[in-house]
Amino acid sequence: MGLFDKLFGEFVDVIEWTDDSSNTMVYRFERYGNEIKYGAKLTVRETQVAVFVNEGEVADVLSPGIYELETKNLPILTTLQHWDHGFNSPFKAEVYFCNTKRFVDLKWGTKNPLMLRDSEFGAVRLRAFGTYAVRIDDALKFIREIVGTDGQFTIEEISDQLRNLITSRFATVIASADIPVLDMAANYDQLGDFLTDRIAPEFEEYGLELTRMLVENISLPPVVEQALDKRTSMGVVGNLDKYLKYQTGAAMEAAASNPGGGAADGIGLGVGFAMANKLAKESDSGQAAASTPPPLPHLMQYHVALDGEANGPFSLNEVRARILNGEVNTDTLVWANGMAEWKPAGEVATLSDQFKPDLPPPLPSS
């Protein structure tokens, strides 16, 4: 083997990357100080994109396939490199392999509760968390904006930034969605799709695609959840009177099944107190209804029979006006709430005094 063959053998002539990790996004092919041989084979596998950089400038972005590194396959490289040796010289270049598969099950969540205004509960505090998935969409932009010259870039190096980006936009997106808190749990899928559409443009600035965002849980503070549970319990109980009767009947049945037990006596005593209390309340309400005074006269409404038809209701002042203009006389039938039947207006106490003629006072004695 000649000296030229020995030196030429030091050059890299096979360029490829097989990833045995699950978190590497970008890998720079290591030349170990050697130059890449002109005509070297470059293999780009599925789920990979190769960015070929020559002397600090991007020569080409290569999709999956097998390439022979020469000027006819790298036309851009021709304008960047002066080939003074019949296009057979090795060249110093770098190859960045970008992993375009989806990186899934990435976590996001709110560090602190978010203050939101809800249409039903007013101001509320929410916590939310879930997962999301991303992939490299624009390899060149991703290298320029995020990776730089990092030889091995992993998802962990950018996941914190992406998580902060999601949580910072979450409150704004939720507020603009105007979804009531109680309806969010029933719309996690729709909410996840809505968030994906609204936040995806932020990821595109990094050369990434937000392929999926899932909302796994949205929760209220524990105190609010307890109050909500109580409210739900009241809704389940429904009619409190029927519930009390049911509980009373169940207690009596339990007491009857154990007539000799002390517990039965206690249950019976409790039922007795409950029933007595209920009857006392009903009695008080009945007495209160019976002792309710009739409405004030000026608030009463009268129906008046005019030309064989019932007219009204009219207030007392309106009936008085009709008496003055002669439309209503003592024989005109009237009826008001509380009267058993229609009566002549002259026999109704609140109206009869309207038919008495106004008599002048007696003349003073001479």
pLDDT-derived band at 143 (thresholds 50, 70, 90) equals very high
- Identify whether the C-beta of residue 50 lies closer than 8 Å to the C-beta of residue 96: yes
Beta-carbon count within 10 A of 164 CB: 12
Residues 6+ positions from 223 with CB-CB distance below 8 Å: none
Range from 93-97, 118-122, 347-351 carrying the lowest mean pLDDT: 118-122
Phi, psi angle pair for 207, to nearest 5°: 85, 20
Residue type, 174: I
Pairing of strands 12-15, 48-54: unpaired
DSSP 8-state assignment for residue 91: B
* SS3 state of residue 129: strand
Tokens 């309106």 locate to 318
Peptide bond into 75 cis (omega under 30): no
Please tell me the predicted confidence (pLDDT) of residue 152: 92
Fold of 103-223: Tetrahydropterin Synthase; Chain A (3.30.479)
Examine the pLDDT at 268 and tell me if it is beyond 60.
no
Of the candidates 129, 116, 106, which has an alpha carbon nearest to the alpha carbon of residue 217? 129
Q: Could you give the CA distance from residue 328 to residue 351 in angstroms, rounded to a whole number?
A: 10
pLDDT tens digit string along 164-208?
888 888 877 777 777 777 777 777 888 888 888 889 999 999 999
Radius of gyration of the chain from its Cα atoms, rounded to whole angstroms: 46
The DSSP element (H or E) to which 254 belongs, if any, is helix 240-257
- Identify whether the C-beta of residue 355 lies closer than 8 Å to the C-beta of residue 329: yes
Structural tokens at position 356: 């008495």
Range from 83-87, 199-203, 223-227, 255-259 carrying the lowest mean pLDDT: 83-87
Please tell me the predicted confidence (pLDDT) of residue 97: 95
CA dihedral 101, 104, 106, 108 (to 10 degrees): 110
Residue type, 343: K
Residues 6+ positions from 207 with CB-CB distance below 8 Å: 136, 137, 138, 139, 140, 141, 142, 143, 144, 145, 146
- Identify whether the C-beta of residue 210 lies closer than 8 Å to the C-beta of residue 132: yes
Please count the helices (runs of H) and the strands (runs of E) in the chain: 11, 16
pLDDT-derived band at 1 (thresholds 50, 70, 90) equals very low
Q: Domain boundaries in the chain?
A: 3-99, 103-223, 239-277, 297-355
pLDDT-derived band at 74 (thresholds 50, 70, 90) equals low
Quick one: CATH architecture of 297-355?
A: 2-Layer Sandwich (3.30)
Higher pLDDT, 222 or 202: 202
